[in-house]
Structure 1
């Protein structure tokens, strides 16, 4: 189908549980390379590239709409679920992908068994809002990769985050200028939508996995956790924003345990 996201699946002979991985803006399904081996031992996996990203970068070119919305991007994923006849799944996301998962849970809560939100974006702080404003002013002047490199260094500044930075910059190079602008504009909608999500908790088990050095987003997650009864926070030591790459073993261990605790198979036993 021309307007369906690129996806890849890994089947498990015994398990009926599905795990869907959702990357962030500028990334692709390639960022989950440190999760696949561990996860496919337990679950069926679905990895996808969001519109304009990775191998979905040639899609939707015939669309008239200039801007994307979280609802549009979320419905792309639901279309893949319907195509594969996956009724419900566990969702694992990183960075801006966590907002998409949360939006999917709002639109179709019956499709979401659990949410594992790594490097979760729950609010843009003052520094990140200034970056967005700077980007909006200069996005028609500066090459988009200059802006993306700047954001990557601000969000992931430490030496042990070098691999994460390089991976995201490499994947972002696959975005065209128009796609970058569309996703950049989408980022400006984060605070209004997350204010609503903060006030309304869903009855879906949620695990926040945050690096202890994720200074841009950890604080707001801690504040949200205090309000929500179905959410737990686990902080990963010596780790920044992209915790699935910086601390993959810990990320895999905590998230797989969480999913198994809340899987339909476990609940049935």
Structure 2
């Protein structure tokens, strides 16, 4: 794949990420802001009136701040996912551009978000000890790196076993090896749980479901949009001239 095509796909990946971020933003605002407000109220109630003064108002945080964060994140992950698509195209099977884009989005959702979140679940912004945020962030990104590397290793293992075991058996074996390796990594890594005692479990559960839902909307939208755009780059439709027909004279 030459550099011009990679560049075109990169730009379209960023555009697809931006487009996918719009419904994710709406979902985050409608579903996720309620649990965040509940977490802030909990923190304020337990601060005894000595909470730090907000540099940015809650209204700005929940509107312009949320929009900026989600849209910038969408553009960034769109570009990264487009590069991953360029690497995966033709290497994971004889899939079309749309199918490869869908598989790339699904793999990104699982490896970059869902699997690491099982070890280090999302917490509302106001929840947790601020002194440990650096450690928790480091552990979360370490889990992402390990999950991505183990996912790539599982794909390579499946491709290596496929000629001898068949595609189905090789896929099952590679998937089982991935689950086992991720489980071992999750057991070895330290816990990052830092939810304060007495925090409402219902609010925490709703926030985590909202977080999963937002990521699912984002990656599903990216897979659909980028698949369409990538197909137009890689499989352009060539216009074929339709031969004119000479009317047959009626006797």
TM-score normalized by structure 1?
0.26
Q: Which has a greater percent of helix?
A: 2
Q: Which has a greater percent of strand?
A: 1
Q: Flag the structure with more relative contact order, 1 or 2, with Cα contacts below 8 A and sequence separation at least 6.
A: 2
